[in-house]
A and B are shown apart, each in its own frame.
Chain A
Amino acid sequence: DVVTGVGINVNGRKYGLEVEPRTLLSDALRDGCGLTGTHVGCEHGVCGACTVLIEGRPVRSCLMLAVQADGQDVTTVEGLAGADGLNPLQEAFRAEHGLQCGFCTPGILVTLTAHLADHPDATEAELRHAVSGNLCRCTGYQNVIAAAVRAARSASAR
């Protein structure tokens, strides 16, 4: 099989990977970079567990080829926490009990990171829309939304 060299900047670090053209970005991140926080829940773009940021935009990494990410900046859940601990969004998820099994959590955190960056004053209804492309089987969403609201408020308070 043809193997191509790609360079992907993930969470501020450059990874040089040998991938096939058909290798999904989700697999490249999980297996190639060893960043297993990005999860795969359906492989057809519905569940959103594989969501990562490409150049700051949320993207389904199961529906994107690794070669398409060549030279791009990718942010995964592992890139969210600061050196000194959890960021306010992560803290809010814990404080509001916005996760249970934790499998959808990375995709939701990444999705909300992008949304809150663009809409720091997002309302509860807007945040519900923002995560409507991320399925969760455990929480019933209410505490996810509560966490998003808490994070939005803590961001706008600064």
Chain B
Amino acid sequence: MTTAADRTIVTAFEDNDGKPLGHGRMLRKEDPRFVRGRGRYVDDVQLPGMLHLAILRSPMAHARITSVDTSLAEAHPNVRLVVTGAMLAEKGLAWMPTLSNDVQAVLATDKVRFQGQEVAFVVAEDRYAARDALELIDVEYEPLDPVVDVRTALSPSAPVIRDDLEGKTDNHCFDWETGDAESTDAVFAKADVVVSEDIVYPRVHPAPMETCGAVADYDAVDGKLTLWSTTQAPHAHRTLYAIVAGLPEHKIRVIAPDIGGGFGNKVPIYPGYVCAIVGSLLTGKPVKWMEDRSENLISTGFARDYIMRGEIAATSDGRILGIRTNVLADHGAFNGTAAPVKYPAGFFGVFTGSYDIEAAYCKMTAVYTNKAPGGVAYACSFRITEAVYLVERIVDCLAYQLQMDPVELRMKNFIKPEQFPYETKTGWVYDSGDYAPTMRLAKELAGYDELRAEQAEKRKRGELMGIGVAFFTEAVGAGPRKDMDILGLGMADGCELRVHPTGKAVVRLSVQTQGQGHETTFAQIVAEEIGIPPQDIEVVHGDTDQTPFGLGTYGSRSTPVSGAAAALVARKVRDKARLIASAMLEVSVADLEWSKGVFHVAGDPSASVTIQDIAMRAHGAGDLPEGVEGGLEAQICYNPENLTYPHGAYICVVDIDPGTAKVKVRRFVAVDDCGTRINPMIIEGQVHGGLTDGVGMALMEMISFDEDGNCLSGSLMDYLIPTALEVPDWETGFTVTPSPHHPIGAKGVGESATVGSPPAVVNAVVDALKPFGIRHADMPLTPSRVWEAMKGRPTPPI
């Protein structure tokens, strides 16, 4: 719970008062520019002669393109360039690889495969003229039947969406399985109780406040392309552009400036980026592309869209024996899922959750439909949102069946602290965890027993109050390069640290903040290790010419991977500083002790040198010890040995108006354990944001389609995002179970709340509806759908 003490501002880090330790509540370095309107986001970039690009999009979900007439658009006085799919095809650029080794059309050539798909683009003198010219392009379409309902996509009569793929005669995308079918079946056969439930995680959208965009600037004289773009993975993008566009990689500079939120939406490469590059190559001018909200919602990476059959087997006294699931995954028209290559279903394999069970099995089928590509986004940690929703919902269904308290059922089945590192039945090795104290703290903060008593009272009066519990284990920090790569790029991260002669420092990261506070927290990590105050450490990120290679920020991987790299690179610099200190103090290295930025002679604290003294000596006149080069800097590429597995216990309290079926989230208690906490203030903010996502998904958000494949959620009028009125004051708490393999014991946390909160909210709503005999209801639990639930059971949201 937030206490007054937590709100106390610690300014010690800001005034250099001799307390250089890094970890703790430090105010953000980013804020002074943002609160003045002095951030620099992509659309703020203005370059001499810059032109503007707009994209013509398909009004249809599935249609053959019979002709494209651009003559009127080309005649527009302010238009410089009009490009169609056919023109790109001539240059071999009409298709690009996706992050899942599929291909995606940059501009449609043969046919369109989802509403909002890119068909042509215009480059004009200004944004208004570019949009005008879109109206002047005449495209003739021959409509085809669309595949909208994923459950019919594999029927023999379904139209084939991907006839661009050689020999493709159906809409099958991939099959995937994990766990052991035979042993799981055996466990189910011997169980006292088996509960089965169809559970849908509907299609939603990350909808960052800033949409996607880019400014491409190709300089024909030196042959160099500079691309400002809304990318969470600037280095990976650079490499992919080199492969796609055929430009040499050292002549591509990707700059991710300030980004107005990413939430996984800004991991993939979108056709718009490629169009901007093509536009600049062809015009020789800088070209800006900035999509509008509708384009963002209908064409960029969606999230979720898993239809899951969840099954759980248990003894009659509540010992969970096994979990089995069958998943139908809707991947849209192109498989653009951002996931490590060997993990087409991401990390869905962690669906066994926080429980010690005997067997587990999952079989998944992914299919193409006439919808936008995506799947992995919106703080999902590579499909863990779906995995945790499945297990936490099906465990609640079991509790309902056994008439057991949902907290008690969970506590009874937790993996025990002494079992870590714990290998799950699907092969994931959880690093550490002590689940019961986390659950108990959440119960205590919520006043769980009192809440149940209050609920019993209210039920007697016919009032609808629900208490929802969710306990999750996350898996973040992809990942060990032997297993994990994105299109062949190993998921390690670089870090460089350079200490200047006067003892100030610059640290260069391969990851890319989109609001998570890296400029502050990475300075804290380095400060803690090397004793230079964080305000004396500048954090550089997002510019591929200036930072070491790495895979970027998503999957809550910054702290696990890049944070480890930052700590280790600082230790490497400290090791060198120790050699220099031994020369300065004329003692052997073994006689030196380190404390907060100072080396001193053991037993004689007065004989000491500071890291600042050492930095000057490293760059100054005079000899350095044998074998020590001048300067004080180091670099590293960190390859994590495992993921980190943070956990959390969430309790949600809802009230439902029996007359309108409107759900009000009255309270929400979130206890998170992400190991060592670098900056509690920032963690709390991450959790608040993620909990709001969770309430949004559970109660309001959904990308839906009509039977013709029209996207019905193409604006913020229809795609509902929580405002300050839909969310309560969050109550947060924490426990600390460090990751044993991480250099500072820290685990990732950014996505935990988004992963853990939807099941807590849904469990609370279903709990409130218990008097109506409801065991399950699908998201989003809007008033109309809750009303349906009160009348029987709501229809699935597809």
Contacts and interface: CB of A to CB of B under 8 A. Distances in A.
Interface of A: 20, 22-23, 27, 30-31, 34-44, 46-47, 49, 76-78, 80-81, 86, 90, 93-97, 99-106, 109, 128-129, 131-146
Contacts of A146: 7
Given A138-B515, A138-B685, A142-B729, A47 B716 contact: yes
Nearest to A79: B37
Contacts of A142: 688, 727, 729-730
A94 B693 CA distance: 23
B493 interface: no
Contact of B36 (A81, A101, A128): A81
A27 B37 CA distance: 15
What class of interface size applies to chain B in its complex with A?
A: 35 or more
Given A42-B715, A77-B37, A101-B261, A139 B689 contact: yes
A139 B723 contact: no
Contacts of A140: 685, 687-692, 727, 730
Given A94-B35, A97-B681, A103-B41, A138 B730 contact: no
Given A99-B31, A141-B688, 17 more contacts: A35-B37, A37-B38, A43-B292, A47-B293, A78-B38, A80-B35, A95-B9, A95-B27, A99-B34, A100-B689, A103-B515, A132-B724, A137-B208, A137-B263, A138-B515, A141-B727, A143-B685
28 contacts: A31-B46, A36-B37, A37-B37, A40-B43, A41-B209, A41-B211, A44-B293, A44-B716, A46-B715, A49-B209, A77-B35, A77-B36, A94-B35, A97-B681, A101-B260, A101-B261, A103-B208, A103-B260, A132-B725, A133-B723, A135-B723, A136-B209, A138-B515, A141-B688, A141-B692, A142-B730, A143-B684, A146-B7
Given A36-B44, A102-B258, A137 B717 contact: no
B27 A94 contact: yes
A81 B36 CA distance: 7
A135 B128 contact: no
Nearest to B132: A1
Nearest to B262: A101
B715 A93 contact: no
A100 B717 contact: no
Nearest to A23: B128
Interface of B: 7, 9, 27-28, 30-41, 43-44, 46, 127-128, 207-211, 258-261, 263, 292-293, 514-517, 681-682, 684-693, 715-717, 721, 723-725, 727, 729-730
- Max chain B C-beta neighbours (<10 A), residue from A46, A86, A128: A46
B32 A94 contact: yes
A150 to B, nearest CB: 9
Contacts of B517: 100
B515 A102 contact: yes
Nearest to B31: A94
Contacts of A20: 128
A18 B36 CA distance: 26
Contacts of A42: 292-293, 715-716
Contacts of B27: 94-95, 97
A106 B681 contact: no
A-B pairs, top 7 by smallest CB distance, nearest first, are A37-B37, A101-B515, A103-B260, A102-B34, A140-B688, A100-B515, A77-B37
A15 B33 CA distance: 23
A77 B514 CA distance: 21
A100 B35 contact: no
- Max chain A C-beta neighbours (<10 A), residue from B34, B39, B127: B34
B210 A39 contact: yes
Dominant secondary structure at the B interface:
loop
Contacts of A129: 724-725
A117 B126 CA distance: 38
A47 B691 contact: no
Nearest to A140: B688
Contact of B35 (A40, A109, A137): A109
B792 to A, nearest CB: 34
Nearest to B730: A142
Contacts of B716: 42, 44, 46-47, 135
A41 B31 CA distance: 20
A38 B401 CA distance: 54
A86 B28 CA distance: 14
Contacts of B207: 137
B715 A44 contact: yes
A138 B293 contact: no
Contacts of A138: 261, 515, 685, 689
A47 B730 contact: no
A46 B43 CA distance: 19
B7 A145 contact: no
Given A44-B717, A129-B725, A141-B727, A105 B35 contact: yes
Contact of A128 (B32, B687, B691, B725): B725
A137 B37 contact: no
Contacts of A39: 41, 43, 209-210, 260
Contact of B210 (A36, A86, A101): A101
A11 B511 CA distance: 37
Nearest to B721: A135
A104 B27 CA distance: 19
A139 B127 contact: no
